[in-house]
Amino acid sequence: MILDQQQMNPANKVRVAVNGYGVIGKRVADAVARQDDMELVGVADISDDWRPRMAMQKGFRLYGATEDHAGAMRNAGLDVAGNLDDPLAASDLVVDCTPKKIAVVNVAIYRQRGIKFIVQGGEKHEVTGHSFVAEASYASALNRDSTRVVSCNTTSIVRTLTALKRTGLLHRARGTLMRRATDPWESHLGGIMNTLVPEPEIPSHQGPDAQSVDPDLDIITMAVKVPETLAHLHYWSVQLTRPASKDEVLDAFSASSRITLIRMDAGLTALDMVKELMAEVGRSMTRGTMLPVLTACVWDAASLLFLPGRECSGLRSVEAIRAVLRLACKLIMCPPWLTLRSPDLIFHAGIL
């Protein structure tokens, strides 16, 4: 069932439920709650630990994923309003932020109810038939019932390569991704030390995933896990369609609202320094974490090398908000709070 804008609630606010209140879900919920044209109906989860307690402190209506989960959460002292059926019945759209491979089970429920839905990058493209990065697939999300917000790495790839593609400079790209060993909030559970772990297949999954957003990308990726948890780092070799000057390439990146240039010779020489900068400038929507991409650029007339590095959590809440707007038939590109948006960050090697 396709809903148009007139079928939304009378206050003309998009009513949004968030299913899953973990690392991504809590950021999506915070972002939805900040929107003037959205209403956060509630958040659903299975946990009775500190995370749903924080949702209660923020005034979010809390639900159990099932009636059994709701009962267990009540027994743990949580104020639970019901189970997942309740916010779904009161919402126009649900953002599913449950762990990998869980959402594919939930999708059958959403479709049965005729509610629009967004899943995360851990699910296959085929679950929705559409993969979302606002820079590249915003227009094609219009009038859809569902979409998939791709992973942080894939979003970074599509954003930066799209900046080159739009100016006619991109021919093909070959990249190596240095992936952090584990998410920082799970460091106590495990991770690698004193080793590197390459992914066994070439291409790694990020290249084909980027092509699910933009099939025209000529891209191959490789990936290796590294023993740190600050951020991911990408190495890219790009063949341009024609000779281009340094200024032309920088202008291509600068034209994107999702890319900001900074300088290595200003002391921003490593991931930890950039992350500290992000805390200093008050990245509240990413909870003090760094912007998604940093890049050092070197090129000759017909090729480009750049090194993006990224932290995940804030970016995916930004993309989720943009996906909500599009599925809800809102014809604007960025909601007001995206003046503090999370752009890709080009970390330029002192040659501006």
Give me the active site residues, please.
152
Distances (CA, A) of 244 to 169, 222, 241: 8, 27, 9
Tell the burial category of 153 from Cβ atoms under 10 Å away from its Cβ (0-12, 13-18, 19+). buried
Give dist(CA 57, CA 222) in Å, integer.
43
The tokens describing 3, both together, are: 């809903």
AA identity, residue 78: L
Q: Which of 296, 163, 155 is nearest to 236 (CA)?
A: 296
Scored b (16 or more CB within 10 A) or e, 101-119 reads ebbbebbebbeeeebbbbb
| 16, 92 Cβ separation under 8 angstroms | yes
Residue 226, beta-bridge partner list: 180
Which residue has 């063949």 as its token pair?
239
What phi, psi does 157 have (nearest 5°)?
Answer: -60, -50
| 135, 219 Cβ separation under 8 angstroms | no
